[in-house]
Structure 1
Amino acid sequence: MSRPELPGWRWGPFTFRLPFYHTRFYWPEALQGLFIAAATGLAIVPLMTAFFGLSFEEAVAVSMIHSILIGSALIFFGEPYAPGWITPALPLVLAFVLGGSEDPTTRFQAMTAVSLNFAALLFILGVTGLGKRFVFWLPDTLKAGIILGAAIAALKRVFIDDAERFLLQQPIATGLACGVCLIFAFSIPMQRLKEKYRFFAILGAMGLLPGFLLAAIVGPLVGEVSYDIQWGILIPPVAEAWAKVSPFAIGWPSLELFIQTMPLAIITYVILFGDLVTGNEVIREGLAVRDDEHIDINPTRSHLSLAIRNALMGISAPFFPTQGALWTGVHVIIMQRWKQGTGAMNSLHSGLHSYYLMGIPILFFLLPLLTGLRPLLGIALSLTLVLTGFACAYIAMAIPKSNTSRGTVVLIGAGLAFFEPWVGLLFGLAATILLVGWDRNTDPIPQED
């Protein structure tokens, strides 16, 4: 007997599910989504105000467009994953964009170029089915080097490139936030405590929130954070932001810029493919427990929906790579509740819709929340990059099987973090071939449903 899929309105390969009509609302997921999204979704605001010439309100407007596009993955396209940024690619993109141009206009044009390159790559690889073959074809050493390059670039951005602007302005609060989150996310002794004591298990399930809240409390006590909370409603200035960021207003990228950013699109695709595989495996694990709901895993649909979202982002609010397939921690948390049965959550799609506040971007209109978070956004950015660097480093170093491969991975990672994208990619290819050989893993990825 086949399991039913949650109904929706089909259009092409996609399924539109109307919030509150097709999906139910769950308060636990909604409350988590409101605060954790607030802590992480606005993390790029300090970057946009510091390096891209936007005011705080304009940066909030751009982030709101990103949030709406992320929510569309669930509502308009029917994706079964908790969507998020392709975070490991962010430091590599920032290194290229901030290092390659001085003015905000050119930087936004570079963001448009890499977004549209990525969208085109996703569309072609999705429609032709070549995506899986491409990732199979890449050698493991090069894949690991790409991931380690993201780790090095992330930590370099926090501790060297932007240290004076963010980390050194709030060293105690930032250090506390990073330390607590690293311990709860990765510490082996803490894992034992979470298995033994429910209190630590609950704290660990909150993701970034405990460390972020601790920084919010300690920051004012040590003089690193000063709150200026304003009451009222903010109407994000979308038109003003559009005039400063959209290629329709500031001009389109040059052909040279499209060519220069293509390696970043390729590198990001390799990272994205790993996210899709991870998301699929988490769903399959849940399906072994829940036999009452069918979850449609469709790689072609995922490629096409990601292509559309990145193309729309590239022409309206370009800031790459905020339109990815998976926010792993959130995906796992929602799946854990879904696995408890229909009494806890009738459908995975209901849980996903609830976490993303049914696609309604209310966060960006709440002035008290936005102004309360404003002095903490630099901490949120540093926290995001440090956790990304740590996670990417341990994933990358688990891939190589020989000492020579491990050494080559470090060389490739350094090359990608410090050189231009084309140079880093060519250096990685040469190092792999000359030092390790084409060590391609022939083990197939488990077949999609």
Structure 2
Amino acid sequence: MPSNRQDGQIQPGLKWGPFVLRIPFIHARFALPELLQGICVAGATGLALVPVMTASFGLTFEEAVTMAMYHTLLISSAWFFFGDPVAPGWLTPALPFIFAFVLGSGNTPEQQFQLMTALSLNFAALLLILGGTGMGAKLVAWVPNVLKGGIILGAAVAAFLRIFDPADAASALNSTPIAAISSLALCMFLTFSKPFQRIAAQRPMLAKIAGLGLLPAFLVAAIVGLITGEMDFNIRNGLLDVPTLTASLWQKASPLVIGWPSPAMFVEALPLAFITYILFFGDVVTGEEMVKNAQDARPDEKLDVDSNRLHLSTGIRNAIMAVVAPFFGTQGVLWTGIQVIVLKRWATGRQQMDSIFDGISAYYVYGFPLLFIVLPIVTTLQPLLPIALAVTLLLTGFACATLALNTVTDPQERGAMVLTAIAFSIFDPWTGLLAGLATIVVVVGPHVFYAKKADPEHPEVIAPEAEKADSTA
């Protein structure tokens, strides 16, 4: 049933300040195809960080699932409370940097969560200041492509190092090698194989399989894991005791209980907040362009994309996360692959999808991650979660690497970019940033930092995620 939106106007909602609240089933209606995909894909990928939380941050499995539930609730608020017509996602390319920094600098889980809080609050402050003043575009315009490419290539290197770390006993390649290799190979084939893409372009069924994201990889991993005996599915009945687990989670992670980060932690985390902002801004530009390109197909609904609002809403989400469930990198602005899926069906007409918010809200299961508290579901997924993380990092790393290598064509700039990437991936953020800047100045020259931009209002930025490679919620 069509909404009462007037032709050519923005989908109705409850306006508050620069934001718009849209209530599920009232301002965002039921969309079955997106709901089914969201239950299978968004729900599973939302739990992909659980193995890291349990192996390195001292949380139990149930506490980690509870934290992931809060992350999903916050990320769903992007369209629910703030009114952004963009499918939100993690800051996926930043995750390898975050793991290396937090796990390398924090000696205890308490210190690691304090570092997560410092990162989240630094990033939130940066977004709120730059969004409120409109200075974000000018800041990114100042950053030369060789440094942007170094950041993104560094994310790729750090992701690969994380996947293939022989010292990490909990990693998928060490704990379930056959199932992990099968799953990783399938994801690479479905996402990046040129021969497969040529065949899928002629066969819609193959294209639909490729569009299911991580789901085919999960199914293959489960089958191979059962056959080889690498996986043991211990399915439990019941529901998570969310109030009790929230209290126990706060005792281990919330700065309200364990204490706020020290000033030194905030200073130590500043470079990584800046690096993450470069990646964030690329997502903002990518999201705006995707909406702009699809708008002509649906003149009946105006999609209001405001980069300043995206800054503010993401900043608020990160600030809340820093207190409730501090795990930096989980509150970004765009899940590119899902935005593509939703826009594609939205563009087919109002009869298929009345409003863009119908598709986005349904994909995020209307902001209510009920499946996270259903133990039979989460315990069925539990053996697959290390593989979900490995796949996420592999696809992100490959996409970032291919993107970064195309950002510069000058041989000296490419060499400087590679050295900068290595510095970012193996050193702490301050050392990596200073080493990268020094390398660029010495090899390329300082002129790249003050070269005149063609259009400072619309600088050339790098979108950090390839359309088909974005694999996280």
**Could you say whether these structures have the same fold, taking a TM-score greater than 0.5 normalized by the shorter chain as the test?**
yes
| Other-structure match for 1:94 | 99
| Other-structure match for 1:31 | 36
| Other-structure match for 2:230 | 224
Q: What residue identity is the alignment partner of 2:141?
A: F
Pick from 186, 197, 200: which aligns with 1:191?
197
Deviation of 1:235 (Å): 2.5
Cα deviation 1:363-389 (Å, max 9, x = unaligned)? 212111100001111111111111111
- Report whether the alignment pairs 1:134 with 2:139: yes
- Report whether the alignment pairs 1:293 with 2:307: no
| Other-structure match for 2:348 | 340
Pick closer, same or farther for the CA change 1:403–1:283 going to 2, 3 Å: same
SS state of the match for residue 15, structure 1? Answer: strand
| Other-structure match for 1:253 | 261
Contact map agreement 2:137 2:458 (CA 8 A) in 1: no
Pick closer, same or farther for the CA change 1:363–1:249 going to 2, 3 Å: same
- Report whether the alignment pairs 1:411 with 2:422: no
SS state of the match for residue 398, structure 1? Answer: coil
SS state of the match for residue 201, structure 2? Answer: helix
Where does 1:142-153 land on structure 2 (aligned, <5 Å)? 142-153=147-158
Q: What residue identity is the alignment partner of 1:266?
A: F
Cα deviation 1:38-88 (Å, max 9, x = unaligned)? 321101111111111111111111111101000101100001111110011
Deviation of 1:420 (Å): 1.0
| Other-structure match for 1:177 | 183
| Percent of paired sites with the same residue | 49
Contact map agreement 1:66 1:322 (CA 8 A) in 2: yes
Where does 1:27-176 land on structure 2 (aligned, <5 Å)? 27-160=32-165, 163-166=168-171, 167-176=173-182
CA–CA distance in structure 2, aligned partners of residues 101 and 393 of structure 1: 28
Pick closer, same or farther for the CA change 1:441–1:203 going to 2, 3 Å: farther
Pick closer, same or farther for the CA change 1:37–1:422 going to 2, 3 Å: same
CA–CA distance in structure 1, aligned partners of residues 186 and 297 of structure 2: 32
Contact map agreement 2:124 2:316 (CA 8 A) in 1: yes
Pick from 22, 25, 30: which aligns with 1:17?
22
Contact map agreement 2:43 2:372 (CA 8 A) in 1: no
| Other-structure match for 2:391 | 383
Pick closer, same or farther for the CA change 1:162–1:442 going to 2, 3 Å: farther
Q: What residue identity is the alignment partner of 2:19?
A: F
CA–CA distance in structure 1, aligned partners of residues 170 and 371 of structure 2: 26
CA–CA distance in structure 2, aligned partners of residues 271 and 400 of structure 1: 17
Report the TM-score, using the length of structure 2 for normalisation: 0.92
Deviation of 1:443 (Å): 4.3
- Report whether the alignment pairs 1:360 with 2:365: no
Pick closer, same or farther for the CA change 1:162–1:131 going to 2, 3 Å: farther
Which deviates more, 428-437 or 300-309?
428-437
Contact map agreement 1:139 1:441 (CA 8 A) in 2: no
Contact map agreement 1:114 1:258 (CA 8 A) in 2: yes
| Other-structure match for 1:424 | 432
SS state of the match for residue 196, structure 1? Answer: coil
Gaps of 5+ in 2: 1-5, 460-473
Report the TM-score, using the length of structure 1 for normalisation: 0.97
CA–CA distance in structure 1, aligned partners of residues 140 and 231 of structure 2: 45
Q: What residue identity is the alignment partner of 2:67?
A: V
Deviation of 1:232 (Å): 2.2
CA–CA distance in structure 1, aligned partners of residues 77 and 283 of structure 2: 18
CA–CA distance in structure 2, aligned partners of residues 172 and 291 of structure 1: 50
Q: What residue identity is the alignment partner of 1:115?
A: S
Q: What residue identity is the alignment partner of 1:442?
A: K
| Other-structure match for 2:377 | 369
Query: In angstroms, what is the RMSD of aligned CA positions?
Result: 1.5
CA–CA distance in structure 2, aligned partners of residues 310 and 229 of structure 1: 33
Deviation of 1:102 (Å): 2.1
Deviation of 1:289 (Å): 1.3
Contact map agreement 1:154 1:389 (CA 8 A) in 2: yes
Cα deviation 1:279-309 (Å, max 9, x = unaligned)? 1111111112111110001111111101100
CA–CA distance in structure 2, aligned partners of residues 330 and 120 of structure 1: 28
Contact map agreement 2:43 2:369 (CA 8 A) in 1: no
Which deviates more, 205-214 or 109-118?
205-214
Deviation of 1:391 (Å): 0.8
| Other-structure match for 1:241 | 249
Deviation of 1:421 (Å): 0.4
SS state of the match for residue 350, structure 1? Answer: helix
- Report whether the alignment pairs 1:215 with 2:226: no
Deviation of 1:360 (Å): 0.9
| Other-structure match for 2:463 | none
Where does 1:293-312 land on structure 2 (aligned, <5 Å)? 293-312=301-320
Q: What residue identity is the alignment partner of 1:364?
A: F
Contact map agreement 1:39 1:212 (CA 8 A) in 2: no
SS state of the match for residue 160, structure 1? Answer: coil
| Other-structure match for 1:433 | 441
CA–CA distance in structure 2, aligned partners of residues 218 and 202 of structure 1: 22
Which deviates more, 298-307 or 156-165?
156-165
Contact map agreement 1:4 1:293 (CA 8 A) in 2: yes
Pick closer, same or farther for the CA change 1:196–1:262 going to 2, 3 Å: same
Deviation of 1:207 (Å): 1.4
Cα deviation 1:149-172 (Å, max 9, x = unaligned)? 100001101102654321211111
Contact map agreement 1:158 1:382 (CA 8 A) in 2: yes
Gaps of 5+ in 1: none
Deviation of 1:182 (Å): 1.2
Q: What residue identity is the alignment partner of 1:224?
A: E
| Other-structure match for 1:442 | 453
Cα deviation 1:116-174 (Å, max 9, x = unaligned)? 00000001111111100000110000000000010000110110265432121111111
Pick closer, same or farther for the CA change 1:99–1:442 going to 2, 3 Å: same
CA–CA distance in structure 2, aligned partners of residues 297 and 161 of structure 1: 44
